[in-house]
Amino acid sequence: MRKLNIQLSPRPRYIHTTDSNHPWPVYPNLLKGLTIERLNQVWAGDITYIGLGRGFVYLAVILDLYSRKVIGWAIRRRITSELTLSALNLALHHRGPVEDCIHHSDRGSQYASHDYVLRVREAGLRLSMSRKGNPYDNAYVESFMRTFKVEEIYLRSYQCYEDVLRNVPRFIEAVYNEKRLHSSLGYISPNLFEAGHQNKASSQAVTP
């Protein structure tokens, strides 16, 4: 490697984004054994970090697990319940009333806090949380986070907060939701999958 001037790729820094040591209640996992068969049946949220030249910023997302589409997201300098609330409010703005939809997350304080749980219940969502220390309970969102890191973060050199604000929304909306193909969706993007689902629902609703 020295002769060929080959250098090891630096190991990405790891930051914990889940703090489950808090005084608020946690909720059972409602996804176990559940078949997901429609839009707005299950939303799932999670948080990841983005390393900058100095320090970190944080991204919270909400996915509709039926279409894998990111329907809510927020970027902040601090990892607080305000971050996750902003992502949730954007999802609610995009989807409107979603009575009886399951909201799934980890057991972190950002999702278990009084303000967040109150907003979830006000919106008519049902709370569901992963088992402690078990990322497989939120596998679809973990998969999105891996895609986000590999296809966006690791390919760029983010140096400042403005870089994140400029590029991350573009990746979510114009690349992932619009163009990213999913084998589980029949090799189409989340936007195309939802459009097909909605067209089918409209045709079935027409009275002959």
Query: What domain count does the chain have?
Result: 1
List the CATH number of the domain containing 53.
Answer: 3.30.420.10
Asked if residue 71 belongs to a domain, the reply is: yes
Asked if residue 152 belongs to a domain, the reply is: yes
CA separation for the pair 141, 44 (Å, rounded): 7
Q: Can you give the pLDDT of all 208 residues of the chain as single tens digits?
A: 666 665 544 444 444 445 556 578 999 999 989 999 999 999 999 999 999 988 899 999 999 999 999 999 999 999 989 999 999 999 999 998 888 899 999 999 999 999 999 999 999 999 999 877 666 678 899 999 999 999 999 988 888 999 999 999 999 999 999 999 999 999 999 999 999 987 665 444 433 3
Asked if residue 79 belongs to a domain, the reply is: yes
| pTM for this model (two decimals) | 0.84
Domain that holds residue 78: 42-197
Asked if residue 9 belongs to a domain, the reply is: no
Asked if residue 70 belongs to a domain, the reply is: yes
pLDDT at 156: 85
| Angle between helical axes of 114-122 and 81-95 (0-180°, round to 10) | 10
